Structure formats: structure tokens, C-alpha cells
Chain A
Amino acid sequence: GAVVSQHPSWVICKSGTSVKIECRSLDFQATTMFWYRQFPKQSLMLMATSNEGSKATYEQGVEKDKFLINHASLTLSTLTVTSAHPEDSSFYICSARDMGNNQPQHFGDGTRLSIL
């Protein structure tokens, strides 16, 4: 079945550091990928929709200059958290959907980001 790989799984770094998270679709092409953030015991919140070859679409309240998204190929999207601060600590999850009607989104394993 479709598999989405996300890397790294864990990041612990100092405040002010920029962190890059990769999301890859392993056995299908994805023109669109999605980035979510989830705080403990809360729901998944969509941050942005990553579009191959064009600019990402950000949800209201998400700073595009803070969360840089690059979707350079049909199998790779990256999210860079720039100048991360403790309040950015969260669980970040990407997802992608194989083309075709009503195909489910498949999620990466998530990245747990802790900013000290």
C-alpha cells in the first residue's frame, strides 16, 4: 500500500535553531501534501497545503515566513521551522494522497519537535 516517510522522528534543539522536516511519498506521486501540527491531547490542525511546483497554501494564523514549505518534486515536501522557540514544540505530521477518487490520505510517522 501507499507509504509516506517522514524524517526525522525526533528533534531536540536550542531556541533560535531552524529545523527542517522531510516528507516523502515512497510508492506514489503526490502533487499535494499536507502539514499538520498536533499539541498534546488535541486534534490535528492543518497548517498548510504543499503544492508541487508552486507556493504552499497556508491556513489562517500560520506564519508563512516562520514555517517555510518547499515541494520541489512529486515525492518530496519539506517543512522548515525557522528560528524555532519553545512554543513551537509540537508533533508535526505530514500526509499525502495518491491520485484517484476518494483515496485516503496516508500519514508519515510524525516528527516530535522539542525546543529548549
Chain B
Amino acid sequence: GQNIDQPTEMTATEGAIVQINCTYQTSGFNGLFWYQQHAGEAPTFLSYNVLDGLEEKGRFSSFLSRSKGYSYLLLKELQMKDSASYLCALYNNNDMRFGAGTRLTVKP
């Protein structure tokens, strides 16, 4: 299996930095993706990693370590609108599996 684990909930303050972790157990995959999902809406693509290391996209960055089975999504300069669920997903051979998601609440 691909057991994908994320914390269920996190809370952070507006303007701060938050790191959302994702760990997995799988024998191999093509890439690891991060999606944002606001309540009642479909997920939107944020970032993906194929190789180990950090991928930066504006306020959002994602990191992958295949040897450690670990990824994180880093959100900087948090805004109230960043309150949402963040989904980690593994992609392999045209098949994508999602973690349960982390519900982030940003407080003033």
C-alpha cells in the first residue's frame, strides 16, 4: 500500500510560517503533489516534487526526501484565505492517491 499520513488539523497565525508534513510508505512513485481544497470546492494544484529537494513557488514551497519517505509544504506570510485543507498525493503510473488532508486554520 501507499499509506499516506498527514496531521489532521493545524492552526497558525496570520503572517506566520507553517509547515505541513506528509509521510508515506511506498516502494516507488513518479511524483508527489500538493493540492489546496477550500470547503465545498474541488482541489486546486499547488506544487509537485519529482526529485529530492525544495521547490519554491511564491509563498508556497514543497520539499521531498525519497530516502526518508517524507515531504512537507511550507506556507509563508500566511493570509486568512489560506485557511483550507491541504492534500498530499502520490502519483505513480497514471494513478494518484491522496492523503486524508490537513485542515489549516489561520487566525488573526
Q: What is the interface of chain B mostly: helix, strand, loop, or mixed?
A: strand
Chain A interface extent, by class: 20 to 34
- Cα of A109 to Cα of B44 in the assembled complex, Å: 10
Q: Which residues of chain A are within 8 angstroms of B41 by Cβ–Cβ distance?
A: 109-110
Q: Which of A61-116 contact B (CB under 8 A)?
A: 91, 93, 95, 97, 101-102, 104-110, 112
- Cα of A34 to Cα of B96 in the assembled complex, Å: 9
B60 in the interface (beta carbon within 8 A): no
A54 in the interface (beta carbon within 8 A): no
- Cα of A42 to Cα of B48 in the assembled complex, Å: 22
Sampled A-B contacts (15; CB under 8 Å): A6-B42, A32-B94, A43-B98, A43-B100, A46-B96, A102-B91, A104-B33, A104-B45, A105-B91, A105-B96, A107-B42, A107-B43, A109-B42, A110-B41, A110-B42
